[in-house]
Amino acid sequence: MKKQILVAIACLVVAFAFAQKKGLKAAEKAIKSNNYAEAKAALGQAEGMLSSMDDKLSSKYHL
């Protein structure tokens, strides 16, 4: 039972990390195409995950 719970938690952590990257990439892409409203929306979604981001992703968010 403990093993199943640990595997489930590990899967959620990995999925959460990919979601952070996806949101930041979408914001970067929108900024490069001068679509600032879309970039603001993507950054708004990523803001909720800011506290759990690693340093590399956090620095991308603040740029």
Q: Is residue 60 within 8 Å of residue 24, measured between CB atoms?
A: yes
- What is the DSSP code (8-state) at residue 33? T
Residue of higher predicted confidence among 43 and 29 = 29
Residue of higher predicted confidence among 27 and 16 = 27
Per DSSP, the chain holds a count of helices (H) and strands (E) of 3, 0
Q: Is residue 25 within 8 Å of residue 43, measured between CB atoms?
A: no
Which candidate, 33, 15, 30, 28, places its Cα nearest to that of 57? 28
Instruction: Give tens-digit pLDDT for 4-15.
Output: 888 888 888 777
Give the C-alpha separation, 41 to 9, whole Å. 28
Domain spans of the chain?
2-62
